[in-house]
């Protein structure tokens, strides 16, 4: 018996990082996965990993989740894959960093599109499918940057967009409640994914700077974020909506 047996979960950003781990953990818990990403080969790799472990996943790629028409089509395709949708896991994001006042207007708009437009568009176009199902759950991955400022690297658009995600989650919870839709946010601290591990290489000073604000003085492993998401997606979390959960090693506690 899995905690997500019988549920269909649309997870965005399943080509790598936390999205890949989410596909694996949600499938382990019995959910059928629809995984969307802009990257084709890596997304298929994830589907292969899920299937080899005995799970079910349909990959939909490439899809640019900042493109409203593409997301509209994705929502239809995702709902058709297994006959409906129960969980929307807004994990995919793209962000740019840079200091004030040089951070360009283009980088600002790209980050807002990559972090705030994506969960809005995916929630908007999948919403009618959740309503049709009699309810569901929207999980938005925000960031500790939505709660506190960050020095490393400078992150003006990242902080603004993620505060937006947390605010939007509260509103989705309010408007979703009459339809049985719960909406929750998770705000991770620094997470070591294969991509960030590769980028940081042996630069221990950079690693220490990124984790300095955590009380635990380390990165999270992707599963330390995703296990909470799996709980929030399940019926065991049936009284939880409108809330944001920091999973940040204590970074926002002081
Ligand atoms: N890694 C961290 O330290 C950290 C910390 C706090 C919050 N987060 C958030 O957690 C989530 C996952 O982070 P991650 O580190 O696993 O990210 P990642 O960059 O490893 O993966 C993101 C995935 O989203 C996909 N994606 C990006 N833009 C897309 C688009 N326009 N259309 C379709 N797919 C697109 C990418 O191809 C990639 O597979 C993100 O929302 C991120 O902001 C990450």
Q: What tens digit of pLDDT does each residue of 131-175 get?
A: 999 999 999 999 999 999 999 999 999 999 999 999 999 999 999
Q: What value, to the nearest 5°, has the Cα angle with vertex 44 and ends 43 and 46?
A: 65
Closest Cα partner for 12 from 120, 127, 98, 91?
A: 91
Say what the pLDDT of residue 1 is.
84
CB 8 within 8 A of CB 32: yes
**Cα 87–chain centre separation:** 12
**pTM (2 decimals)?**
0.98
Cβ 19 under 6 angstroms from ligand 1: yes
Question: From the alpha carbon of 19, which atom of ligand 1 is closest?
Answer: 16
Give yes or no for residue 196 CB within 6 A of ligand 1: yes
Task: Please tell me if the CB atom of residue 214 comes closer than 6 angstroms to any atom of ligand 1.
Answer: no
Q: Is the CB of 37 under 6 A from ligand 1?
A: yes
Reported as a single tens digit per residue, the pLDDT across 26-52 is 999 999 999 999 999 999 999 999 999
| The two three-digit tokens of residue 83, written as one number | 């006959």
User: Is the CB of 15 within 6 Å of ligand 1?
Assistant: yes
Q: Which residue among 44, 70, 71, 93 has the greatest number of ligand 1 atoms within 8 angstroms of its CB, and so is best to mutate?
A: 93
**CB of residue 81 inside a 6 A radius of ligand 1:** no
Q: H helices then E strands: how many in the chain?
A: 9, 7
Beta-strand ranges (E) seen in the chain are 8-12, 32-36, 56-60, 87-90, 136-141, 181-188, 244-247
Rounded to the nearest angstrom, the distance between the alpha carbon of 12 and the centre of ligand 1 is 9
Q: Is 246 in the pocket of ligand 1 (CB under 6 A)?
A: no
pLDDT value for 197 = 95
Residue spans of the chain under pLDDT 50? none
Residues 6+ apart with CB under 8 A from 197: none
CA angle 131, 137, 141 (to 5 degrees): 135
State the distance from the centre of ligand 1 to the C-alpha of 143, rounded, in angstroms: 11
Cα separation, 81 vs 78, whole angstroms: 5
Helix axes 17-28, 222-233, angle to 10 degrees: 50
């Amino acid at each position: 018996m899995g905690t997500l047996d019988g549920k269909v979960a649309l997870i965005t950003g399943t080509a790598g990082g936390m999205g890949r781990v989410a596909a694996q953990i949600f499938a382990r818990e019995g959910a059928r996965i629809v995984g969307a990403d802009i990257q084709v080969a890596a997304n298929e790799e994830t589907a292969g990993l899920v299937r080899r472990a005995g799970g079910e996943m349909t990959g939909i790629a490439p899809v640019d989740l900042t493109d409203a028409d593409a997301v509209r089509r994705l929502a239809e395709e995702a709902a058709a894959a297994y006959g409906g949708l129960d969980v929307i896991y807004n994990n995919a994001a793209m962000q740019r960093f840079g200091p004030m006042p040089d951070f360009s207007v283009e980088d600002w708009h790209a980050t807002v599109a990559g972090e705030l437009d994506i969960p809005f568009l995916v929630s908007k176009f999948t919403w009618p499918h959740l309503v049709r199902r009699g309810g569901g759950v929207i999980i938005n991955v925000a960031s500790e940057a939505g709660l506190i400022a960050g020095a490393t690297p400078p992150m003006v658009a990242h902080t603004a967009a993620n505060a937006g995600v947390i605010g939007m989650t509260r509103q989705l919870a309010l408007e979703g409640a009459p339809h049985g839709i719960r909406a929750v946010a998770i705000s991770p601290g620094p997470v070591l994914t294969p991509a960030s591990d590769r980028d940081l290489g042996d630069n221990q000073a950079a690693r220490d700077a990124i984790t300095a604000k955590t009380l635990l003085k380390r990165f999270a492993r992707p599963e330390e974020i995703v296990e909470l998401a799996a709980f929030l997606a399940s019926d065991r979390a049936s009284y939880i909506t409108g809330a944001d959960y920091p999973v940040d090693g204590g970074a926002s506690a002081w």
